[in-house]
Amino acid sequence: MRGRSGLSALGVICCYIGLNPQINADGITKEEQIYLLIAEKASCDQHILNKSEEDGSCSPEWDGLTCWPSGLAGELTAVPCPSYIYDFNHNGFAYRQCEDDAKWKFVENLNRTWTNYTECITFLQTDNSNRQDLFERLYVMYTVGYSVSLCSLTIAIMIIGYFK
Ligand SMILES: *[C@@H]1O[C@H](CO)[C@@H](O)[C@H](O)[C@H]1NC(C)=O
Ligand SMILES: *[C@@H]1O[C@H](CO)[C@@H](O)[C@H](O)[C@H]1NC(C)=O
């Protein structure tokens, strides 16, 4: 019994997060933004698969927002700020540094690859917390994309459990 109520609670939480309209971006719905990101990630994965490994260059990868091409060792790689992120400044570029050893520059204390998205969010810079907020919101949107399906799965499990 205890297990089932735990499951229901999880279901309710998932549905609440999934359907909470407060995480809407302005001018575009959360679902549209998730859909764009998922589609973009799929095409990036495809692009990476079709590309053969190259020695002496940083490998292409999806960082959650942008599809990075392979980078030349020792050079700064620039990509236009993703057009499918509604909140971004679409005139700027995002940067990553490919080190001499053909590895993307890594920030040890953050445990993640160094990326400069400053230009993509310049027009939001009046308020630093705003910027943090944007990244958190994008992160939430991205993860919610998956929790929505988890939500349906949980409901399905509960229904199966009920009628057994
Ligand atoms: C850094 O992240 C990787 C994968 O995201 C993880 O496996 C590793 O434990 C992390 N290292 C530290 C020091 O947090
Ligand atoms: C990030 O890019 C901006 C704009 O191109 C630049 O002014 C800034 O110095 C860069 N930040 C770092 C840490 O390199």
Tally of structural domains, the chain: 2
Where does the pLDDT of residue 68 fall: very low under 50, low under 70, confident under 90, or very high at 90 and above? Answer: very high
* Interatomic CA distance for residues 9 and 35, integer angstroms: 27
DSSP class per residue in 86-140: TTS-TTSEEEEEBPTTSSB-EETTTTEE--B-GGGGGGGTT-HHHHHHHHHHHHH
80 and 140 belong to one structural domain: no
Choosing from 97, 105, 116 the residue with most ligand 2 atoms within 8 A of its CB, the one to mutate for a pocket test is 116
pLDDT at 61: 92
Task: Read off the CATH number of the domain in which 56 is found.
Answer: 4.10.1240.10
Q: Per-residue pLDDT tens for 140-151?
A: 665 655 555 556
Of 62, 64, 66, the residue nearest 78 (C-alpha): 66
pLDDT at 65: 85
Q: Per-residue pLDDT tens for 120-141?
A: 877 654 555 555 666 666 666 6
Ligand 2: does its nearest atom lie under 6 Å from the Cβ of 116?
A: yes
Query: Atom 10 (ligand 2): residue with closest C-alpha?
Result: 116
84 and 159 belong to one structural domain: no
Atom of ligand 2 nearest to the CA of 119: 4
- Structural domain containing residue 13: 2-125
96 and 19 belong to one structural domain: yes
pLDDT at 31: 72
Query: Atom 14 (ligand 2): residue with closest C-alpha?
Result: 116
Q: Give the distance (Å) from ligand 1 centre to CA of residue 90.
A: 32
120 and 134 belong to one structural domain: no
Ligand 2: does its nearest atom lie under 6 Å from the Cβ of 63?
A: no
98 and 72 belong to one structural domain: yes
The chain-wide mean pLDDT, for the chain, equals 74
| Model pTM score | 0.65
* Interatomic CA distance for residues 121 and 142, integer angstroms: 18
136 and 78 belong to one structural domain: no
133 and 111 belong to one structural domain: no
Where does the pLDDT of residue 38 fall: very low under 50, low under 70, confident under 90, or very high at 90 and above? Answer: confident
Q: What is the dihedral of CA 123, 71, 97, 59, to 10 degrees?
A: 100
H or E segment to which residue 71 belongs = strand 71-72
78 and 38 belong to one structural domain: yes
